[in-house]
Structure 1
Amino acid sequence: DRAPAPVLTQLSSLVRQAAAEAELGGLRPVGLAVAVPGLVARDSSLVVRAPNLGWEGVDIGPELRTALPGLPVTVDNEANLSALAELWRGGHDPAPRDFIHVSAEIGIGAAVVLEGRLLRGTHGFAGELGHVPVRPEGPECACGGRGCLEQYAGEEAVLRASGLSPEQAAAQHPGPGGRITVLAVRAASGDQRARRALRGAGAALGIALAGAVNLLDPEKVVLGGALTPLAPWLLPALERELGRRLTDPARPGSGAVTVSRLGPDGPLLGAANSVVQAVLDDPAGFRDPAGAGEPASVRGSDA
């Protein structure tokens, strides 16, 4: 519920702090990547719309570039960065070349990887699964539509269906990921209302994903982000809906929906690794003029 300006001021302060700590360790930052829960215009730092933040038309690049002048800044949707982390660091053997990555932070996000490359779409908005309507006459969504997936499988929707307000859940387990932890603990302890809410969320996810799977024919569907600790209660209903709705029963259904090993850190790992990947793609472009001739970002043990 905060306006962009104070958030960006605080973020800039954190960036400067991280850079100072890196310098003490003999390291030089070579890039900054930011994961955003919203639509980011392709090849820009403009957040076109982040419904769950209440932000529209916010260019976050200029503020962050003043934090560390000369540092390349990349801004991307958090679901996209989670999918890239899955591709680069997911631990699959072999790594899938075609998959849909579904994650949850504030809302439900998704990203599509085809032939090892992220599908961005013309404007950079591909993958907005959370705003696919699963029940067209359902409740109004923050995006302006009705019956969107987020209204049934988003964090706040599942909390309310389990009998908790978001505020109550946060009070029970403060801190990042605390509300999801409350849901997981309740479901694991046998709370039938929590389990019923998660089954409903899984079914809604299955309905939305069936259309995407029928359209794109991926090798796998990967659940990531805050969905990972809830997977034991989401997957049965999700896979059941997929099995009922796919045109080809051999497509992802039972056994082809996997749970990410990266968990809630997916967006952070994707952001960090996007910078590392840029260095690996062009090491010469990142040489430190004051250094010993090696790329600054790969000296030492912690690239």
Structure 2
Amino acid sequence: MEPVRHEAMRARNLELVLGEISRGGPLTRAALAELTGLTKSTVSTLVGSLVDAGFLAETAAVRAGERGRPGVEVSLSGARMASLGLEVNVDYLAACLLDLTGAVRRSVRIERDNRGAPAETVLDAVRELASAELAEARGLGLTVAGAVLAVSGPVRDGVVLSAPNLGWRNVPVSLDLPVPVSVDNEANLGALGELWFGAGAADFLYVSGEIGIGAGLVVDSRLFRGTGGELGHVLVSPSGPSCRCGAAGCLETYAGQEAMLTAAGVSTVDALSAALAEADDAALSAVSAAGEALGLALASAVNLVDVDRVVLGGVFGPLFPWLAPAAEAVLRARLTGLRGSVPVLSPSALGDSAATLGAAGRTIHGVLADPGPFLAR
């Protein structure tokens, strides 16, 4: 049996201390020693390193009891370390700068039609946006630990395998930035955003409603990667319209953003929401049809993964009051006899920020889980 190396033990202890503070809020060194089982001297040394590195900050003194000197609480500090979340979608680019406490320091969205543009051109625009945000972070005195890019399509080993709405296939992502960069599916990152910054349920299916429709599954407060996530290409009608993926009758052709806008005769989601609020017949019919199609796709997904909660994000959030009733009716008709109940549908409060929040949050959670490599930085 090999001995435990000092570096590995220190890394584990740093994780213990930082984890307790991130979960439990401000804590004294004495409280940390009790919670972690470490000695007070070890905790003091670790906390000193984390304070010096700007990961923790000392707050007001608190008196632990009637006797002795008051302890000094320490809490997470957002003054030094940060992460960058990026997203490339069909009609926009977005970025989110998050500090170690989970606070959003900057959020940027650039409207841009990325359909038909060469992948290299779009990635150049992402690189330019990311470089500008890294410069802003430096101006705020923040060191960016890494960046994660959200893309609407399945990803493997840094390669976007297929993103039909962007026209991408087997596109390797390399942004050539001065920080580590990884790429992941937009719906998976949206699910993480919902988990960490939204309702925070332990088990749910997150559905991202954009021009395309993706899905991410969270089980026991962890992202489950055994599903493909391309809910928009679930078949809902064999005789339905042609889809950009090459098939026909996909959910996206009924409940995707463009499909709903076209059916309602409007050009923007805001205009669609306004028409729905005025009880416009075309808008109501379009969104009801989208809800029915969504219900069919969700019924198949629920039969497969057996979840009790579905969170509707992206454009489905503001359309929820009109979209959900039709989807729920289909779910009741198709699932009640099998399961005895239907999953609860709820709107995400994060809007179109879920994926960038999840992307930035993934790096922050990585730092909290293993702060050692970042202390010197």
**TM-score, normalization: structure 1?**
0.83
Counterpart contact for 1:134–1:149, Cα < 8 Å: yes
How many residue pairs match? The answer is 260
What corresponds to 1:209 in structure 2?
298
Q: Secondary structure at the match of 1:26?
A: coil
Q: 2:239 aligns with which of 137, 142, 145?
A: 137
Residue 47 of structure 1 and its aligned partner are, at CA, apart by 0.6
Counterpart contact for 2:209–2:316, Cα < 8 Å: yes
Letter in 1 for 2:167: G
What corresponds to 1:112 in structure 2?
217
Counterpart contact for 2:153–2:230, Cα < 8 Å: no
Cα RMSD of the aligned pairs, angstroms, is 1.3
Letter in 2 for 1:243: R
Counterpart contact for 1:223–1:258, Cα < 8 Å: yes
Q: Are residues 1:53 and 2:166 paired?
A: yes
What corresponds to 1:73 in structure 2?
181
Separation in 2, partners of 1:46, 1:131: 20
What corresponds to 1:173 in structure 2?
none
Separation in 2, partners of 1:29, 1:208: 39
Separation in 2, partners of 1:162, 1:25: 45
Unaligned runs of 5+ in 2: 1-114
What corresponds to 1:97 in structure 2?
202
What corresponds to 1:230 in structure 2?
319
Letter in 2 for 1:265: S
Separation in 2, partners of 1:288, 1:21: 21
Q: Are residues 1:8 and 2:123 paired?
A: yes
Q: Secondary structure at the match of 2:366?
A: helix
Counterpart contact for 2:217–2:224, Cα < 8 Å: yes
Residue 24 of structure 1 and its aligned partner are, at CA, apart by 1.4
Give CA-to-partner distance per residue, 1:71-128, whole Å, 9 cap, x none: 22121111101101111111x3xx422211111122111111122221212xxx6221
Counterpart contact for 1:119–1:126, Cα < 8 Å: no
Q: 2:230 aligns with which of 116, 128, 131?
A: 128
Give CA-to-partner distance per residue, 1:102-160, whole Å, 9 cap, x none: 11122111111122221212xxx622110000001212111111100001001111111
Separation in 2, partners of 1:138, 1:189: 29
Greater strand proportion: 2
Unaligned runs of 5+ in 1: 170-178, 290-303
Separation in 2, partners of 1:251, 1:97: 18
Give CA-to-partner distance per residue, 1:264-291, whole Å, 9 cap, x none: 11111111111111111111121134xx
Give CA-to-partner distance per residue, 1:185-244, whole Å, 9 cap, x none: 111122110011000000000000001112211120111112101101101101000000
Q: Taking every aligned residue pair, what percent have the same amino acid on both sides?
A: 48
Counterpart contact for 1:96–1:219, Cα < 8 Å: no
